[in-house]
Amino acid sequence: MRIQRPTISQPTITEPTITAMTSLTGDGASITGSFSGSFAGELTGPTSASFAESISANSSSIEAASSSLATSITGVQSNLDNASSSLATSITTNSGNITTNSGNIISLQTYSSSLDTNLPTLALPANTTISTFGASLADDADATAAKTTLGLENVTNESKATMFTSPAFSGTPTAPTPITTTDSTQVATTAFVQDRIQK
């Protein structure tokens, strides 16, 4: 809020008549120096009435600014009320959407379960041919049976981050044979060991 500073007119000093001056300088607005004797002139400045008018004008400006500030505060409060109401409406709408989506997820899970149950007995359209392997896969009752049909019974749904941690090999696993001078954590095959022993 900006308050207007009172406007006070500068005193006006008429050129005095000075006698017996010792030292005195002036420009019609101010006088400095010292003198002795007497002078004749007139000193004029703002009257009490004009000063009171300035104070009254500034009081009116302050009242107008206060009224404007009160109006602004009321507007801000109104905006806050509207924003709160809008937020509450959005929360209610989103809650309804969440409930609806939860219902859709449950329905999808039910459909997936029904698909697993009915897929093996799904009848093919007339004149449709299917390979023996395809028929065998379609007849599998569940994912475990399908893995066996596909030859993937040893495959698990394990992430790459853990599937190679401390692996347990079976059968006869092979690996590249390092050169004889290798001295590292590289896998040492039986051929590498035999070569090092003989040397």
Q: What is the pLDDT of residues 135-190, one digit of tens each?
A: 788 788 888 888 888 888 777 777 777 777 787 888 899 999 999 899 999 999 99
Q: Note whether residue 145 is domain-resident.
A: no
What is the percentage of the chain residues whose pLDDT exceeds 70?
Answer: 68
Is residue 169 in a domain?
A: no
Q: For residues 89 and 42, what is the distance between their CA atoms, to the nearest angstrom? A: 76
Query: Which pLDDT belongs to residue 189?
Result: 94
- Which residues lie below 8 Å from residue 145, measured CB to CB, with a gap of 6+? none
Residue 158 inside a domain? The answer is no
- Structural domain includes residue 185: no
Residues in the chain: 199
107 within some domain:
no
For the chain, give the mean pLDDT.
75
The number of distinct structural domains making up the chain is 1
- Indicate whether 63 belongs to any domain: no
169-180 pLDDT, tens digit each = 888 999 999 998
Q: What is the pLDDT at residue 149?
A: 87
Q: Find out whether 20 and 37 touch, Cβ atoms under 8 Å.
A: yes
Task: Answer yes or no: is 27 within a domain.
Answer: yes
Only one residue has tokens 């505060």, namely: 73
| 103 band by pLDDT with thresholds 50, 70 and 90 | confident
Residue 112 located in a structural domain: no
Q: Identity (one letter) of the amino acid at 141?
A: A
State the pTM of this model: 0.24
E strands of the chain, at which residues?
12-13, 17-18, 23-26, 31-34, 39-40, 43-44
User: What is the per-residue pLDDT for 153?
Assistant: 77
Domain that holds residue 18: 1-46
